[in-house]
């Protein structure tokens, strides 16, 4: 009887191993928490093409925007952990969303398998060009001279947290105007219905055209896209604890290690390709390839940073 049991277990292990060894044998889907046509969407599609070529299977992007990434993250958290449905996650969607809610919809550490880190990105403070402030010091002076008269937009939760730090640390009295996304906020910033906005690189073309000004970057170093824009420290302000943001790939909890390793290798290899590098430069991203264990450690640390930030700023939790 023991012999038969041993044979059955051995066969099961063999077939399970064989199934993993055959990965992938069908289409892989990357769930994307942002709209088609967004800057990060274009980057992910470029990465998907590279991964498809390396793994020999189609890799498609499934856009599930909304709720600061909650919809996409929840989708993948509930998916079968076989590597065929993975998440393009960000600090905002994966870590800030739970930190900003009384009842977290998921746990960034327990409910996901880290696969590969892709890049870091900055948030900038943009102002309408009609505002009489060409530097961060001039902006702070202007706002202090006009308390309650400057409106600022927040287009996502990173923007919300960034502006909360900025207004507190610089002692600014401004009016917060929340938006459901950066594109809508940008429209009003260009129209001067709001005068300032913390955002990703989306408004950069308008800064280069002169319609907007970028006054500061939240990353610890200046970036090539806007080399003349100083860092927080350079303008005499404290660094934002979470910097800008980050993007990475995750699967549901419980993925087999060999599947994770295969996906991770393909995704990190994509990071080094000229097309992907070009996309990153265009969107103001800085390559930050991380292996699964490195990404896991990063997420654990970030979960603490964001949770502490929400408490420190005394933000109202949803």
User: How far is residue 59's CA from residue 48's CA, in Å, rounded to a whole number?
Assistant: 6
- Pairing of β 196-199 and β 175-178: unpaired
pLDDT of residue 284: 80
Q: How confident is the model at residue 283 (pLDDT cuts 50, 70, 90)?
A: confident
Residue 2 has pLDDT above 90, yes or no: no
Q: What is the DSSP string of 25-49?
A: SS-EEEEESS-TTSHHHHHHHHHHH
First to last CA, the chain: 58
- pLDDT the model gives residue 15: 46
Spans of all domains in the chain: 2-118+245-313, 124-235
**Separation CA 284–CA 272 (nearest Å):** 16
- What backbone phi and psi angles, to 5 degrees, belong to 110? -80, -30
12 pLDDT above the threshold of 80: no
**Mean pLDDT of all residues in 4-33:** 67
pLDDT of residue 316: 66
Amino acid 17: pLDDT: 46
DSSP one-letter code for 109 = T
CA-wise closest residue to 89 among 107, 100, 80, 104 = 107
- Give residue-wise pLDDT tens across range 159-202: 999 999 999 999 999 999 999 888 899 999 999 999 999 998 88
Q: Backbone phi, then psi, for 46, in 5-degree steps?
A: -65, -45
- Give residue 36's pLDDT band: very low, low, confident or very high (50, 70, 90): confident
| Cα distances (angstroms) measured from residue 55 to each of 41, 59, 150, 288 | 21, 9, 51, 22
pTM score of the predicted model: 0.86
Question: Mind listing the pLDDT tens digit for each residue in 96-136?
Answer: 999 999 899 999 999 999 999 999 888 899 999 999 999 99
Beta carbons of 98 and 42 less than 8 angstroms apart:
no
List the structure tokens of 242. 């979470």
Distances (CA, A) of 293 to 85, 147, 255, 261, 289: 20, 47, 14, 10, 12
Counting every residue, how long is the chain? 318
Looking at the domain that runs over 2-118+245-313, which CATH code has it been given?
3.40.190.150
Per-residue pLDDT band at 317 (split at 50, 70, 90): low
**Architecture of the domain defined by 124-235:** 3-Layer(aba) Sandwich (3.40)
């Amino acid at each position: 009887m023991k012999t038969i049991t041993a044979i059955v277990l051995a066969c099961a292990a063999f077939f399970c191993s064989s199934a993993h060894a055959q990965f992938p044998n069908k289409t892989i889907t990357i769930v994307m928490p942002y709209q088609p046509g967004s800057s990060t969407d274009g980057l992910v599609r470029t990465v998907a093409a590279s991964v498809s070529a390396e793994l020999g299977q189609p890799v498609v992007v499934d856009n599930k925007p909304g709720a600061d990434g909650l919809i996409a993250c929840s989708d993948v958290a509930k998916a079968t952990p076989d590597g065929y449905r993975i998440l393009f996650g960000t600090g905002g969607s994966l870590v800030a969303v739970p930190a900003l809610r009384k009842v977290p919809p998921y746990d960034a550490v327990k409910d996901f398998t880290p696969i590969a880190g892709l890049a870091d990105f900055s948030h900038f403070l943009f102002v309408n060009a009609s505002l009489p402030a060409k530097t961060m010091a001039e902006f702070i002076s202007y706002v202090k001279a006009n308390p309650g008269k400057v409106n600022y937009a927040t287009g996502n939760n990173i923007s919300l947290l960034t502006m909360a730090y900025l207004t507190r640390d610089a002692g600014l009295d401004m009016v917060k105007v929340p938006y459901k996304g950066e594109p809508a906020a940008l429209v009003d910033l260009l129209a001067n219905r709001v005068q300032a906005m913390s955002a990703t690189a989306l408004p950069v073309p308008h800064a280069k055209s002169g319609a907007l000004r970028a006054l500061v970057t939240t990353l610890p170093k200046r970036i090539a896209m806007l080399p003349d824009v100083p860092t927080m420290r350079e303008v005499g302000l404290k660094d934002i604890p979470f910097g800008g943001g980050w993007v990475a790939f995750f699967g549901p909890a419980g993925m087999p290690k060999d599947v994770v390793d295969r996906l991770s290798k393909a995704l990190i290899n994509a990071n080094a390709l000229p097309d992907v590098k070009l996309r990153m430069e265009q969107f103001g991203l800085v390559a930050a390839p991380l292996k699964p264990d490195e990404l896991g450690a990063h997420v654990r640390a970030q979960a603490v940073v964001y949770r502490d930030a929400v408490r420190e700023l005394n933000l109202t939790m949803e």
